[in-house]
Amino acid sequence: MASDGLWTEMVHEGGTGGRRRQGQREFVATPAVPRSRAKRDGPGLGTFALLATEDEINRSIAELPAPGVAEPALPTGLVCDLETPETYGEAHAGPHHHIWTNAERKEFFGLNAVGTFEEGDEFGYAVRAKARLVARGFAQREGVDFFETFSPYPSITSIRLLAAIACVLDWDLCHFDAEQAFVQSELDEVVFIRLPPGCGALSGKVVRLRRSLYGLKQASRTWHHHLMRGMKSLGFEPCAADACVMRLIESGVVTMVVVIHVDDIFSIGLKSRCDQFGVDLNRYVPISNLGELRWYAGCRFSRDTVLGTVTISQQAVAEKIVAKFGVTTDKETPMVVGLKLEQYDADEPDVDEPFRSLVGHLMWLANQTRPDILNAVRAVARYSHAPKRLHWEAALHVLMYVRFTSGYGITFQRGTVGGDHMELFVDSDFANKATDRRSVSGALVMFAGACVMYLCRTQKSVTLSSTEAEYVAMSDGMKEAIFLRYLWKFIFPGRDVGCTPVWEDNVGAIHLASNPATTPNSKHIDIRHHFIRERVARGEFKVVHVRSDLQRADFLTKPLPKETFCAHRDFVMNIR
């Protein structure tokens, strides 16, 4: 949350100062510049006269009241129903100012910024007030204040696969949170900042950052490197396919696998080993053991040990989106069969509605836990540049379906048919109704009774036949399946992943994938798609025919009648 004039100035200087080390303090005490120099250097550097001295830092911290031991009572309600102040002034003028005051003191004593409710628990309720001290990173200059900014994030596919493996093997899902993560890593660059209100006598003073801070462009990168050093010191090694997935091998056996999402860590393994991991890592970075995984990467994780299931859902997120756009009607499918989004009046003015915001919310939901709305969202998103009333109503229709099915998610189950073997389903909608006539690819990978990967995308070029469209869809799906095979081999290095069946309902596409045939109708197909044949020849994949009514990827390519759609949806998401 931004503050009124929060760090209205970021001062950049290569000078040195006496570094003070006391616990985890993030400031460097720098002697004030004499007034004569400040005046000589002009207004731009006159602010250096405000540099905080070491004595000022000590005195300010000593005078600032400590945060309350007991947390102030939070207002009851869902996070989406609570008003979050946008500025420092709003926080202190509102009815809950005492909550933000205590949160700011906690931040200043341990370093975290100016008041916003935490996202909430897996049900969407506020669990605590949290304040963060945030740098205005947009004022940084590349090549001066920062150089590299890249930091990896885990694939949601990796998260789903690990949850499914934990379900199949009956491993524990444990959750850890790194406390004040970004401020644990040292900064390579020299950066000065002006402190905002709420920092006691230091408010308005300029200090040098010794450690990284929220808001800096390089903050995520420096934290990730710092955490990786700690993880490697404990014996963990990263996966080449997904750098945020790490494994621990003990006595030749993988005993634990972790996924790192910035400062959120979840692990699969025996609980005793996971608990010991938290103790070991805490020696390197402050970390909290949050127990069983319930909420991670915006998704709720719920486990039924009796049924042997793990469900990933986003009911709280879905209900928040529904409330934001005021939808009160239900729909039983995400899109009407036969709807022609391309047939609209080009002279009609663009709809005066938050279309892009709605599509963005729906896309987030679709990509995380809702394959059943992915094709509908893809279809309406193609008109984000100039949405008409028809497209807005189609997007609202998707949201009405989300309202009707807000509690739906992906459920993995131990002991299902297929068990711990992956299966790939691929399908296409040839020459889709869009004006560019490009086909649509749909693919999904089933594991532990539900999908661990799914995709729906418009193909990048026009295809000349349904066979070619299916072949391109097979290429799209197989690339994702190869990624999952890499992950599997990383987690189980001594175990054969076996041959992955590819379920396809087009006989011509099956023939192309299984034979190096060159025909007048296929010789023009881009060579990039022929890697399929190589993988099939290696024995990694086997393309198998499936009846069209059992092609589970069908609902990822086109709107379907209610009965057919629900049958595919329930199978893919394991809805009972």
Each residue's pLDDT tens digit, 269-297 = 999 999 999 999 999 999 999 999 999 98
- Average pLDDT for the chain: 83
pLDDT at 35 over 60: no
| Predicted pLDDT at 136 | 86
Name the pLDDT band for 27 (thresholds 50, 70, 90). Answer: very low
| Annotated domain spans of the chain | 27-150+187-202, 156-182+221-296, 313-404, 415-573
Is residue 47's pLDDT more than 60? no
pLDDT of residue 295: 92
Share of the chain above pLDDT 70, in %: 78
pLDDT at 39: 33
Taking a C-beta distance cutoff of 8 angstroms, is the pair 454, 416 a contact? no
Q: Which CATH superfamily is domain 415-573 in?
A: Ribonuclease H-like superfamily/Ribonuclease H (3.30.420.10)
pLDDT at 224 over 80: yes
- CA–CA separation, 449 vs 427, rounded Å? 19
pLDDT of residue 76: 55
pLDDT band of residue 84 (cuts 50, 70, 90) is: low
Residue 543 scores a pLDDT above 90? yes
Say if CB 468 and CB 437 are below 8 A apart.
no
CA-CA distance, 246 to 84, in Å (whole number)?
36
Q: Which amino acid, residue 477?
A: G
Q: How far apart are CA 356 and CA 366, in angstroms?
A: 15
Detail the DSSP E strand segments found in 389-539: 409-413, 423-429, 440-447, 450-458, 500-504
User: Which stretches within 234-354 are classed as H helix?
Assistant: 271-282, 315-325
- Among 411, 26, 415, 56, which Cα is nearest to 182's? 26
Our measurement of the distance from residue 288's CA atom to the centroid of its chain's CA atoms, rounded to an integer in Å, reads 21
- Within 366-508, strands assigned E span 409-413, 423-429, 440-447, 450-458, 500-504
- Minimum mean pLDDT among 290-304, 415-429, 454-468: which range? 415-429
Whether domain 156-182+221-296 has CATH 3.90.550: no
Reply yes or no on whether the pLDDT at 496 is more than 50.
yes
